[in-house]
Amino acid sequence: MNKNSSNIMALAPNTSNKRETVCIFGTGDFGRALGHKMIQSGYPVVYGSRSTQISNLIPKDAEVLSHAEAAQKAAIIIIAIQRQHYNFLIPLAEILRGKVLVDISNNLKLNQYPESNAEYLAQLLPGSKVVKAFNTVSAWALQSGTLDASRQVFVCGDDVEAKQMVMNIVHALSLTPLDKGSLLAAQEIENYPLQLFPMWKFPIFLSLGLTAFFFFYCLALDVIYTYIYEKNNFSFFIAITIPNRVCPVVALILLALVYLPGIFAAIIQLYRGTKYRRFPDWLDKWMLCRKQLGLIALAFASLHVVFTLVTPLRAFVSWRTSKGIISQVLNNKTEPLNSTNAWISDSYLALGILGFFLFVLLGITSLPSVSNNVNWREFRFVQSKLGYLALILCTAHTLVYGGKWFLSPSAYKWYLPNIYMLSLVVPCAVLVVKFVLIFPCVDKPLTQIRQGWERNPKHSE
Ligand code: NAP
């Protein structure tokens, strides 16, 4: 074929666009939903079922045949049947030889069987090409068209051509295939829908634990202590005052905990003199959930902003303000402006605003749509340099706001330190150690270790 004719072919309408028939074994919820979507996307669909009676639930344009008859009509067969029934496929082994079998099954528990369902299917039918796909998409989402959040379809399989055929179908259904490699990845793909926020568990439990601890701490010192010793009923503090103390404290501690594992990692590397030994498991897990810790911290910081903005609307605040004005009127004396106090209040507000701005910036750059558009250096600059700056600003905000109580004996109710003092322990520790780590005499060997240098190469694994 000459060059011109190939160009003409490329410009001519594609007449071979007709989709190939796809066979689906099983007319259950998922089989029907997938068949419906495939027919909409232009695929002729034939069902293989134990009963060839057409029911109202089956997509209108689909055929329903016996398993053997249906399998003969297509090169790709989707097995929309639970794993425990796979034995019925063994007598069909000859008909299924050379065909692409798509395993879409899920289990009820993580690692329920020694091997993945897809590998089990491949063992039962060694003559067929098994591909794992579609198990992370629900029948309901397929049918209702609400697939915006879960367009990704993980695909894996040992036969590259078979995998490509399945990925083409995924594409044609307006979904996004993600090649996860060979069938060895099937177990991980099958475990995926069974996981409940895997990376969020530790950050959520930690933030709930911190919130509960600081809430009861404030309740004891600000409400119960005041009631017992000053006979004041400040129980309404539970609604806004206490949450507005707890939220910034938890946000600050969580933000510091985002940077603490990096500090531990640096100390461990310096101590070992190599980067080629694995970190302890707890540190690995902690590092992997830093983004989630940061996002939860941002949520707490945002709540603090909202609670602070509504402060002027509170009855308690207007009562306190009018009480101050009335006492000045009664004493016939205007309090002069205390410029130190004015400086302190303006400074902590400015530090808080700037810290929150950087906090939001960190949150935005952690979104995949944004982080995919910056290179590694830019991402590190924002997450590390600007992140530390946010931590410094937020720590300074707390220090300036709460500092006035540190030396005041009245702040030590029941000999306990003020909540702001407690909140500063972790952030200050992180900042002090980080400051030490950037000293050239520490930073230089650390940088060398991270570039592959080893103090004692024979000890590295
Ligand atoms: P289902 O409603 O229980 O349907 C399963 C189908 O399997 C039945 O309708 C039946 O079809 C066939 N079947 C049942 N017993 C059989 C046997 N002894 N021998 C041969 N065929 C038998 O289940 P489903 O919800 O559609 O799920 C099917 C598969 O898709 C499962 O492996 C599931 O893990 C996976 N999946 C489901 C979803 C979902 O949202 N439902 C999402 C992802 C993956 P016939 O009556 O036509 O023979």
pLDDT per position as a tens digit, 34-54: 999 999 999 999 999 999 887
Alpha carbon of 98 to those of 22, 77, 299, 375: distances in Å? 15, 11, 53, 44
Question: For a substitution probing ligand 1, which of 81, 136, 189 has the most ligand atoms within 8 Å of its CB?
Answer: 81
Distance from Cα 24 to the centre of ligand 1, integer Å: 11
Structural domains of the chain, ranges and CATH numbers in brackets: 22-194 (3.40.50.720), 200-451 (1.20.120)
Q: What is the pLDDT of residue 10?
A: 40
Tokens, residue 454: 């080893």
Q: Token match 């938890």: residue?
A: 250
Question: For a substitution probing ligand 1, which of 82, 134, 190 has the most ligand atoms within 8 Å of its CB?
Answer: 82
Q: Check whether 414 has a pLDDT greater than 50.
A: yes
- Distance separating alpha carbons of residues 42 and 24, to the nearest angstrom: 15
Q: Phi/psi of residue 153, each to 5°?
A: -120, 115
Higher pLDDT pick, 2 / 74: 74
**How would residue 293 be classed by pLDDT, with cut points 50, 70 and 90?**
very high
Distance from Cα 28 to the centre of ligand 1, integer Å: 5
106 Cβ closer than 6 Å to some ligand 1 atom: yes
49 Cβ closer than 6 Å to some ligand 1 atom: yes
Q: Check whether 2 has a pLDDT greater than 70.
A: no
Which among 429, 391, 424 has a CA at the least distance from the CA of 406? 424
Q: What is the pLDDT of residue 423?
A: 92
Higher pLDDT pick, 81 / 340: 81
Higher pLDDT pick, 86 / 403: 86
pLDDT tens-digit series, residues 314-353: 888 889 889 989 998 998 888 888 898 899 999 999 999 9
In ligand 1, the atom with minimum distance to the C-alpha of 64 is 47
91 Cβ closer than 6 Å to some ligand 1 atom: no
Q: What is the pLDDT of residue 1?
A: 38
pLDDT tens-digit series, residues 148-160: 556 789 999 999 9
**How would residue 8 be classed by pLDDT, with cut points 50, 70 and 90?**
very low
Alpha carbon of 101 to those of 3, 46, 258: distances in Å? 39, 14, 45
pLDDT tens-digit series, residues 200-225: 889 999 999 999 999 999 999 989 99
Q: Check whether 256 has a pLDDT greater than 60.
A: yes
Distance from Cα 35 to the centre of ligand 1, integer Å: 13
Q: What is the pLDDT of residue 88?
A: 95
Q: Token match 């074929």: residue?
A: 1
CA angle 175, 177, 179 (to 5 degrees): 175
58 Cβ closer than 6 Å to some ligand 1 atom: no
143 Cβ closer than 6 Å to some ligand 1 atom: no
- Distance separating alpha carbons of residues 440 and 271, to the nearest angstrom: 17
Which among 175, 102, 186 has a CA at the least distance from the CA of 142? 175
Distance from Cα 60 to the centre of ligand 1, integer Å: 19
- With beta carbons less than 8 A apart as the criterion, state whether 285 and 427 touch: no
CA angle 379, 193, 81 (to 5 degrees): 145
For 63-79, give one letter per residue: b (16+ CB within 10 A) or e. bbbebeebbebbebbbb
- pTM here is 0.71
- With beta carbons less than 8 A apart as the criterion, state whether 417 and 242 touch: no
Q: Classify residue 445 by burial, with Cβ atoms within 10 Å: 0-12, 13-18, 19+.
A: middle
